[in-house]
Amino acid sequence: MNKAQLRKLYKKKRLSLSTDEVQHKSVQIANNLLQLDIWHYDYYHLFLPIKKWNEVDTQPIMNILMSKDKNIVISHSDFDSIQMINILLEEQTVIKENKYGIPEPINGERISDHLMDVVFVPLLITDQKGYRVGYGKGFYDRFLANCRPNVLKIGVSFFEPINEIEDVHEMDVTLDMVVTPEKIYRITKND
């Protein structure tokens, strides 16, 4: 299937999940993340979920990061430039939903893309090669392309990876691993 077909199918599948299922699966994803050797870094980029779209609830991941006293970076989406502006999450950071329902910081210290060590990446579905289907605007592909080459890219998904996304593009950035409620998938790069 191509990205448009997969986007339609997995939006529908995700919206069919109950609030309890979203919460339970989100906690399972966070528990699986605890099994990884990723907690020694400094800067972690975390997306804030769009609740009406049943995205993975990242609060359990945020709780882990806060308990380990890590720098949590969240972003504001600039729809004119299709870029993400990264902000350090602090006690005084004010978060509001934008007109698209995306929770975003409206103040705070700006953080360079190059400082990111680990990026938790939202997605609808991914394939076994680490290509992902998001909402189709390319915000994360642009952001990840600006990060250091060794940034760790971890997709979080309610669904297991599919075999292949038919219409990947040369600008698509692949993930290093995908964590679902059931399993951790490490992506093998074929250079």
Tell me the pLDDT tens digit for each residue of 143-189. 999 999 999 999 999 999 999 999 998 888 999 999 999 999 999 87
Question: Can you tell me the distance from the alpha carbon of 175 to that of 130, in angstroms, rounded to the nearest whole number?
Answer: 5
User: What pLDDT score was predicted for residue 171?
Assistant: 83
Number of Cβ within a 10 Å radius of residue 100:
13
Q: Is residue 42 scored above 70 in pLDDT?
A: yes
83 in helix, strand or coil?
Answer: strand
φ/ψ region of 162 (left if φ > 0, alpha if ψ in -120 to 50, else beta) reads beta
pLDDT in tens, 101-146: 899 999 999 999 999 999 999 999 999 999 999 987 889 999 999 9
pLDDT in tens, 68-103: 999 999 999 999 998 999 999 999 999 999 988 899
User: What pLDDT score was predicted for residue 137?
Assistant: 83
Give the pLDDT band (50/70/90) at residue 190.
low
Q: Cβ(47)–Cβ(75) under 8 Å?
A: yes
Q: Is residue 191 scored above 60 in pLDDT?
A: no
Residue type, 66: M
Give the pLDDT band (50/70/90) at residue 58.
very high
- Count H helices and E strands in the chain, helices first: 4, 11
| Percent of the chain whose predicted confidence (pLDDT) is above 90 | 90
